[in-house]
Structure 1
Amino acid sequence: MKVMVQVDRAKIHQDLFFQYVEDPTIVRIEPEWSIVSGNTPIAVWGTHLDLIQNPQVRAKHAGKEHINLCEVLSATEMTCQAPALALGPDHQSDLTERPEEFGFILDNVQSLLILNKTNFTYYPNPVFEAFGPSGILELKPGTPIILKGKNLIPPVAGGNVKLNYTVLVGEKPCTVTVSDVQLLCESPNLIGRHKVMARVGGMEYSPGMVYIAPDSPLSLPAIVSIAVAGGLLIIFIVAVLIAYKRKSRESDLTLKRLQMQMDNLESRVALECKEAFAELQTDIHELTSDLDGAGIPFLDYRTYTMRVLFPGIEDHPVLRDLEVPGYRQERVEKGLKLFAQLINNKVFLLSFIRTLESQRSFSMRDRGNVASLIMTGLQGRLEYATDVLKQLLSDLIDRNLENKNHPKLLLRRTESVAEKMLTNWFAFLLHKFLKECAGEPLFMLYCAIKQQMEKGPIDAITGEARYSLSEDKLIRQQIEYKTLILNCVNPDNENSPEIPVKALNCDTITQVKEKILDAVYKNVPYSQRPRAVDMDLEWRQGRIARVVLQDEDITTKIEGDWKRLNTLMHYQVSDRSVVALVPKQTSSYNIPASASISRTSISRYDSSFRYTGSPDSLRSRAPMITPDLESGVKVWHLVKNHDHGDQKEGDRGSKMVSEIYLTRLLATKGTLQKFVDDLFETLFSTVHRGSALPLAIKYMFDFLDEQADRHNIHDTDVRHTWKSNCLPLRFWVNVIKNPQFVFDIHKGSITDACLSVVAQTFMDSCSTSEHRLGKDSPSNKLLYAKDIPSYKNWVERYYSDIGKMPAISDQDMNAYLAEQSRMHMNEFNTMSALSEIFSYVGKYSEEILGPLDHDDQCGKQKLAYKLEQVITLMSLDS
Structure 2
Amino acid sequence: MHHRASLPDESGAIEVQVQANDGAIQTATYRKQFIYRDPDVLDFTPKIGPKSGGTMVTIIGQYVNAGRNIKAYFGASSCHIDRTESVVNETHLLCITTMTNATNSAKLSIYFDGAERLAPDYKTFVFTNDPEVSSFYPMTSMISGGRAINVTGQYFTSIQRPKMFVNAGKLFVSEPCMVHSFDKMKCISPPVVLSRVKMDTQVLVGFIMDAVVLQPDLDFEIKDDPVYYPFADDGNIKEYSRGRQLVIEGENLNLASMASEVFVTIGEEECRVVSLSDVQLNCVPPEDAPRGVNKTGISSENGLSEVRVKVGNLDFFIGYLKYPTAEQSKISGAILGLVAALALLLIITILIIVICYLRNRKLDNQIAEEVENWLEIIAMGTRTRPDMVLPFLDFCNYTANMITDGQADNPLFKRRLQSDTDCTKSLEQFYSLLVDESFCLVFIRTLEDQTKMTTNHKATVGYLLTIILQRERHMFYLTELLKVLLAETAVKANKTKRTRSMLKRNDSIMEKILTSWFAITLYTLTKMCIGESVFMMYKAVCVQHNKETGNVMKPTDTVQRSVATVFKECLIVARQQNPVFPAPIKYMFDFMDSLVVKNDIVDRDVAKIWKCDSLHLRFFAKILKRPQSMLDINISRAVGRELDKISQAFVEICSDTKKHQQLTRTLKTLNTFADGCEHTSKK
Give the TM interval when normalised to the shorter protein: 0.3 to 0.5
TM-score (norm 1): 0.31
Higher radius of gyration, 1 or 2: 1
Greater per-residue helix proportion:
1
TM-score (norm 2): 0.40
Greater per-residue strand proportion:
2
Q: State the structure with bigger RCO (CA 8 A, min sep 6), 1 or 2.
A: 1
